[in-house]
Amino acid sequence: MKALIQRVRRASVTVDERTVGAIDHGLLALVGVEKGDDETAAERLLHKLLHYRVFSDEAGKMNLDLQQVEGGLLLVSQFTLAADTRKGLRPSFSSAAPPADGERLFHYLLDRARATWPRVESGEFAANMQVELINDGPVTFLLES
């Protein structure tokens, strides 16, 4: 599993002009599921999401994690993260998990995140979503489990 994380001042996801998820200060995580991913990969990714130190301490160093700053976590499924872009001018999605597997693992990650951390929001799997954010920094990392 992959997650493109962005440290945000706020972020929201809209589907059909209704907000389905929103956070203030925290992390927006665009999540891609690849073939061969399983619950163990989701657990490793969740651990990184909650403990990756991307927030500044009092000295301005990135030493604090999401839980230490009491931030929100907005999870958004994004199968395009599994694209192979090495050849040609059109992405290949041959490494992406089949939709049913992707949905199952995304919801597993979401359920585990909500069971672990009280400030978790999400988009809707396979929906046409509009994501708004104010990137703080900007700070953006690609996490892989």
Burial bucket for residue 69 (CB in 10 Å: 0-12, 13-18, 19+): middle
User: Which H or E element spans position 41?
Assistant: helix 39-51
Whether residue 66 contacts residue 75, with contact meaning beta carbons closer than 8 Å, is answered with no
Catalytic residue of the set 80, 85, 93, 130: 80
Cα–Cα distance for residue pair 79/59, rounded to 1 Å:
37
* 106 is a catalytic site residue: no
* 93 is a catalytic site residue: no
Interstrand relation of 120-122 and 72-77 (parallel, antiparallel or unpaired): parallel
**Residue 13: alpha-carbon gap to chain centroid:** 12
* 78 is a catalytic site residue: yes
Q: Find, among 48, 45, 4, 11, the residue nearest to 26 by Cα.
A: 11
Residues annotated as part of the active site: 78-80
